[in-house]
Amino acid sequence: MKHNLGIIILAAGKGKRMNSRLPKVLHKLCGKPMLSYSIDTALSLRPGQIILVVGDDKEKIIDYIKTDYKKEKIKVVQQKKLCGTADAVLSAKSMLSANITDLLVLYGDQPLLTKETVKNLLNTHYKNNSVLTLLTAEIDDATGYGRVLRDKANNIIRICEDLDLTWDNIELKEVNAGSCVFKKKELLRVIKDIKPDNKKKEYYLTDVVGLFYRENKKISSASASSSDEVLGVNSRSDLVDLEQILNQRTINKFLDNGVTVSSPQTTFINHDVRIGKDTVIKPFVYIDSEVEIGKNCTIGPFCHIRGGSKIADNVIVGSFAELNRVYAGNNTRIKHFSYLGDIKLGNNVNVGAGVVTANFDGKNKNKTVVADNAFIGSDTILVAPVRVGKSAVTGAGSVVTKHKNVPDKAIAFGVPAKLYKKGKDE
C-alpha cells in the first residue's frame, strides 16, 4: 500500500517557564528558532501535508512561517483551549487532506530529535504495518516523562504519564519520547473515546495506546539513537543546555570532517556554518549563521565572525577581530584587533593591527573594497564608501575618507589621508 504521510507539529504550549513575551518555540538555538528544527525535519520527509498546532501566539508564529518558510505549504491551526495533546491533534482534524494515510506527530519543543531517528520510526511503522508506532528511549532520570508499560510478551499495554504513576511502575525506565506515527483512520476512530480521567484532567494522546491494546491492534516501537534526542525545552535553563548539546554536535561533525576546533568548550558555531578542511579554530571563537570559511585558515583565538561573511582559503583571522559581512580573499591576513564591516578584501591583503572600517554613516551601511596585495597600515580607518587599489598602501594611523579612493600602487597617509605616491588607477 502506498503511504501518504501527514505531519502534525504540536506547539500550542504556553512555555510559561520561559518568562518571555516571545513564544517559546521561537526562541533560538544555534542561530535558528526551536520550532524550525521540527519543521526542517518534517520537510525533509517530503510529506503530503504539514499542520502546525499553535495556541494564543498564532499571529507571531504565522509571521515567522511567512518569512522563513514562505515557499512551503505549512498550515497553521489554533487550538482554542489547551486541554491536552489529544485535543491538539483533534484541532488539526478538519484541515487534514482526505488522501493522507498515516499521521506523524512531532513536538515543536524537541530540537535535538534527528531526522535519522524519525526516519527509523517511520520505517518501523511501515514495515510492521502497525496502527501505532511510538518512539521510546531508556533514560536514567525519567521524571516528567510518560512511561511505557509492557506485558510479558513485551507488547506495549499503555503509557502512564508521570503524574499518574503508581508504586508498581514508578521504576520503569523506558519513556515515551513523544513522537509517534499512526494509521490516520485508526487514530481518528479512537481519539474521540479519550477521556480526561487523569490527574491533570487533560485529553492525553498517549491514552490511544491503551485503547489500541485492548482491541489487539498492532503497536510497535522504535528507539531514539541517543537519550538526548528526547529532551525538550521548558525553561531558559533547558534552552541553554540543549544549545550546548547542539553546538557540541556541530563541532564533532567538523572534527570528523578535518577541521580542528581546539577548544570545543569555548567555541560556538551556528547550525549552518561551513568550514573547509585543515582550518584550525582556536579558543574563544564565535561564528554566526550564514558564514563560510575555506580550507587551511586559522581563526582566533578570541574573534567574532558575523553573518554574511565568506572567508576564502589560507586566511588568518587573529585575536580580537570582529568581521561582519566580510569577504576575505585567499591568503589575506587580519591578524590583530580589527572591526571590519561590509568590506571586500582581495587576495593577499594585509590588514594591520587596529584597522577599522567606518561602514555606517548613521543612515546607511556603506561598502569598502580593498583590492589584491594591498597593505593597510596599522590603525587605519577606512570611511566607506571607499576603495583601496591593488598593491596600494595606507600609512599607520591614516583616515581614508569617503570616496577618496586610493589608486592601485599608490601610497596614502595622514588624517585625512593624502596621496604620497600617486600610483595608477586601472
Distance CA 314, CA 284 (A): 20
Site for ligand UD1 in 25-64 (CB under 6 A): 53
Q: Which of 5, 7, 10, 224 binds ligand UD1 (CB under 6 A)?
A: 10
Distance CA 389, CA 381 (A): 15
Q: Which of 146, 210, 329, 407 binds ligand UD1 (CB under 6 A)?
A: 146
Which span sits near ligand UD1 by CB under 6 A: 104-112, 302-310, 314-322, 373-381? 104-112
Q: Which residues lie closer than 8 Å to 254 by C-beta, 6 or more apart?
A: 261, 269, 275, 281
Quick one: how far is CA 328 from the chain centroid? 26
Minimum CB distance to ligand UD1, residue 184 (Å): 18
Residues 249-288, mask of contacts with ligand UD1 (x by CB under 6 A): ----------------------------------------
133 counts as binding ligand UD1 under rule CB under 6 A: no
- Chosen from ligand UD1, Ca ion, none, partner binding at 124 (C-beta under 5 to 8 Å by type): none
Distance CA 85, CA 290 (A): 36
Residues in contact with ligand UD1, total (CB under 6 A)? Answer: 27
H or E element: which one contains 157?
strand 156-160
- Chosen from Ca ion, ligand UD1, none, partner binding at 341 (C-beta under 5 to 8 Å by type): none
Q: Which of 5, 7, 8, 11 binds ligand UD1 (CB under 6 A)?
A: 11
Minimum CB distance to ligand UD1, residue 357 (Å): 44
239 counts as binding ligand UD1 under rule CB under 6 A: no
Minimum CB distance to ligand UD1, residue 74 (Å): 15
- Chosen from ligand UD1, Ca ion, none, partner binding at 206 (C-beta under 5 to 8 Å by type): ligand UD1
Distance CA 370, CA 320 (A): 21
Active site residue 336: yes
Distance CA 67, CA 36 (A): 12
Count CB neighbours of 241 within 10 A.
13
145 counts as binding ligand UD1 under rule CB under 6 A: yes
- Contact indicator for 161, 153 with CB cutoff of 8 Å: no
175 counts as binding ligand UD1 under rule CB under 6 A: yes
Minimum CB distance to Ca ion, residue 244 (Å): 19
131 counts as binding ligand UD1 under rule CB under 6 A: no
Distance CA 219, CA 216 (A): 9
Give the residues across from 102 on adjacent strands. Answer: 5, 183
> Between the CA atoms of 303, 309, 315 and 320, what dihedral angle is there, to the nearest 10 degrees?
-20
Dihedral-angle region of residue 152 (phi above 0 means left; psi in -120 to 50 means alpha; beta otherwise): alpha
- As to burial, measured by CB atoms within 10 angstroms (0-12 exposed, 13-18 middle, 19+ buried), residue 355 is buried
Tell me whether residue 226 or residue 348 sits nearer to ligand UD1 (CB atom): 226
For the residues of 278-346, what is the DSSP string, one character each?
T-EE-SSEEE-SS-EE-SS-EE-SSEEE-TT-EE-SS-EEEEEEEEEEEEE-TT-EEEEEEEEEEEEE-
Distance CA 31, CA 35 (A): 12
Which span sits near ligand UD1 by CB under 6 A: 101-109, 304-312, 333-341, 367-375? 101-109
329 counts as binding Ca ion under rule CB under 5 A: no
Closest CA to 88 of 99, 100, 76, 97: 76
Minimum CB distance to Ca ion, residue 163 (Å): 13
Site for ligand UD1 in 58-97 (CB under 6 A): 79, 82-85, 87-88
Residues 129-168, mask of contacts with Ca ion (x by CB under 5 A): ----------------------------------------
H runs (alpha helix) in 69-199 = 85-90, 115-128, 184-190
Site for ligand UD1 in 197-226 (CB under 6 A): 204-206
Peptide bond between residue 33 and the one before it cis (omega within 30 degrees of 0): no
232 counts as binding Ca ion under rule CB under 5 A: yes
Which span sits near ligand UD1 by CB under 6 A: 58-66, 171-179, 298-306, 414-422? 171-179
Tell me whether residue 107 or residue 254 sits nearer to Ca ion (CB atom): 107
109 counts as binding ligand UD1 under rule CB under 6 A: yes
Distance CA 377, CA 191 (A): 72
Q: Among 3, 27, 304, 336, which one carries the catalytic annotation?
A: 336
187 counts as binding ligand UD1 under rule CB under 6 A: no
Residues near Ca ion (CB under 5 A) are 232
Residues near ligand UD1 (CB under 6 A) are 10-13, 53, 79, 82-85, 87-88, 107-109, 145-146, 159, 161, 175-178, 204-206, 232
Catalytic positions = 336
